[in-house]
Amino acid sequence: MIILICRSALICLVLLSAGRLFAQTRIYTADSLGSQRDANGILSAFFSGKNSVAAPVDMTKEGSWSVLPSAAYNPSVGFAVGAISSGGKYFGDPVNTTLSVINAGFYISTNRLSTFEFKHNAFSSENKWNLQGTLQIGKTIAKDNGLGTGRRSVGDGELRMNDEHFPNNPNEYPLRYVYIKVNERIYRKLANYFYAGAGLSFNFYTGIDDGRKEVPITATHNFRYSVKNGYSPNAYQANGILLNFQFNNRDQPNRPFRGIYADVVLRANQSWLGSTRNAWQIKTEFRKYWSLSASNPENVFAFWHWANYLLNGSLPYLELPGTGSDAYGRIGRAFVIGRFKGLSFVYNEAEYRFPLTSNKLLSGVTFVNIESANNQRDIKLFRYWEPGAGVGLRLLFNKYTRSNLCIDYGRGSYGSSGFFLGLNEVF
């Protein structure tokens, strides 16, 4: 009975949110953007020497595309310079079609690391089809602390191999590697805001531990996990089939003001696709956005839940879900990428977003988050929660696509802190 009541309440919430969103869509798609300023417009005016307001862009015809040089910082890789681009276009009536967006970027860091990313989220007319995909290629470094949430002193435990004894290893180790990730999904609309789809994912990791100095390979968490689970510690693959079910009534994918996004993905890594080992996973994601002001819809309270559970089989070490393992690498501000990870991983975050200037060029955010992961020993999922919190500044990059540049400062457990820069909202 309780389950039925909860299910009915959820359905009612979804329907009410959908109705409210549809009723307000015409208002916000018809709003004039003439009073807003963005970085793209400021730079165009500077180089052209003209201060006049640019002509409005017809997003149903030519769309909008912006390219800017960029600097970034992440505690994992250091300072980086490169270029970012963002584009958007409607492939149907904006009243019943979501804006299609493309985002790309290339960075080279002070640690001789580099990355290239290309992401797209395209909607056909009336949202009958939705195509989502990412391509990521890079050379990076991770500060590896092993599996599970909780203090590092837990470590991976002792390891015996070929009559050799390796003591517990609770320390943090640098982990360098090269990666290629390709993920493509296609969805078909079943009913209003409900979609079903399928896809493929190919993740390659090589050159692992390359460039380490005084750290012996036998001490690293990657080596011990790989040996224990039958992987080469130097290279492996995780390639799989995806089955997806989605609910999406957000008003815009880059920077939603209102709506719900819910996604359930069943992933099956298969050796016949080149995967090193077979595995079954289920990923659940839920996002909810509340616009708190009719006159300033940018005042938004947002909630994000992201979880990935291993159902059966085995995953290579760098494929384990954890901090920064979402498609945009933004999970867990306050911690470096991969700081916490496990066979299964759960994450929750709440954020308040608000404009700082009347022309919407600058805005701010405050956020709090928690994450939990398990390991192969005695740490169970939900046993330890690691908190993080912080504030951020936003610079409107392209007002037509709502793209913005993000600068966040976060602090977390065990004295972790850092600045995090990126393109578009974290979620």
Determine how β-strand 362-373 pairs with β-strand 345-355: antiparallel
CA 325 to chain centre: 7
Buried b (16+ CB within 10 A) or exposed e, 217-237: eeebbbbbbbeeeebebbebb
Q: Confidence class of residue 327 from pLDDT cuts 50, 70 and 90?
A: confident
Q: Which amino acid type is present at position 45?
A: A
The candidate with the shortest Cα–Cα distance to 222, out of 50, 213, 210, 62, is 210
Taking the C-alpha atoms of residue 50 and residue 138, their distance in angstroms, rounded to an integer, is 39
Q: pLDDT, tens digit, for every residue of 361-374?
A: 899 999 999 999 99
Closest CA to 380 of 168, 150, 144, 145: 150
Please name which of 358, 422, 415, 425 lies closest in space to residue 388, comparing C-alpha atoms: 415
Q: How is residue 95 written in tokens?
A: 């009243």
Q: Is the pLDDT of residue 24 over 90?
A: no
Average pLDDT of the segment spanning 376-391: 91
Angle, vertex CA 395, rays to CA 386 and CA 97, nearest 5: 90
Q: Give 150's pLDDT tier (boundaries 50, 70, 90).
A: confident
| H or E element in which residue 130 lies | strand 129-144
Q: Which domain holds residue 372?
A: 2-423
Which position has the higher pLDDT, 318 or 400? Answer: 318
In terms of Cα–Cα distance, which of 20, 31, 25 is closest to 400?
31
Contacts of 128 (CB under 8 A, 6+ apart): 188, 189
Poorest-pLDDT segment among 15-24, 32-41, 105-114: 15-24
Q: How far apart (Å, rounded) are the C-alpha atoms in residues 298 and 294?
A: 9
Q: How confident is the model at residue 104 (pLDDT cuts 50, 70, 90)?
A: confident
Q: Are strands 345-355 and 417-423 parallel, antiparallel or unpaired?
A: unpaired
Q: Is the dihedral of CA 161, 166, 167, 170 positive or negative?
A: negative
Q: Which helix (H) or strand (E) holds 397?
A: strand 386-398
CATH number at 111 reads 2.40.160.50
Please report which confidence band the pLDDT of residue 397 belongs to, taking 50, 70 and 90 as the band edges.
Answer: confident
Q: What residue type is assigned to position 235 of the chain? A: A
Across 114-128, 150-164, 216-230, the highest mean pLDDT is recorded for 114-128
How many other CB atoms are found less than 10 A from the CB of residue 172? 16
Which region holds residue 166: left if phi is over 0, alpha if psi is between -120 and 50, else beta? beta
In 3D space, the residue among 92, 94, 90 whose CA is nearest the CA of residue 30 turns out to be 94
Q: How confident is the model at residue 54 (pLDDT cuts 50, 70, 90)?
A: low
Report the range of poorest mean pLDDT among 41-50, 120-129, 134-143, 186-195.
41-50
Residue 165 or residue 81, greater confidence? 81
Cα(207)–Cα(51) distance, rounded to whole angstroms?
51
Dist CA 358 CA 349 (whole Å):
27
The CA-CA-CA angle for residues 69, 132, 108, to 5°, reads: 25
Asked if the model's pLDDT at residue 203 lies above 90, the reply is yes
Neighbouring-strand partners of residue 290: 301
The whole-angstrom separation of Cα 371 and Cα 391 is 18
Amino acid identity, position 210: D
- For the chain, the farthest-separated pair of C-alpha atoms sits apart, in whole angstroms, at 77
Are 68 and 86 in contact, with CB atoms under 8 Å apart?
Answer: no
Q: How many domains does the chain have?
A: 1
The CA distance from 229 to 159, in Å, is 12
Q: How many residues does the chain have?
A: 427
Dihedral pair phi/psi, residue 406, rounded to 5°: -115, 130
- Rounded Cα gap, residues 27 and 420, in angstroms: 34
What average pLDDT does this structure show over 42-47? Answer: 63
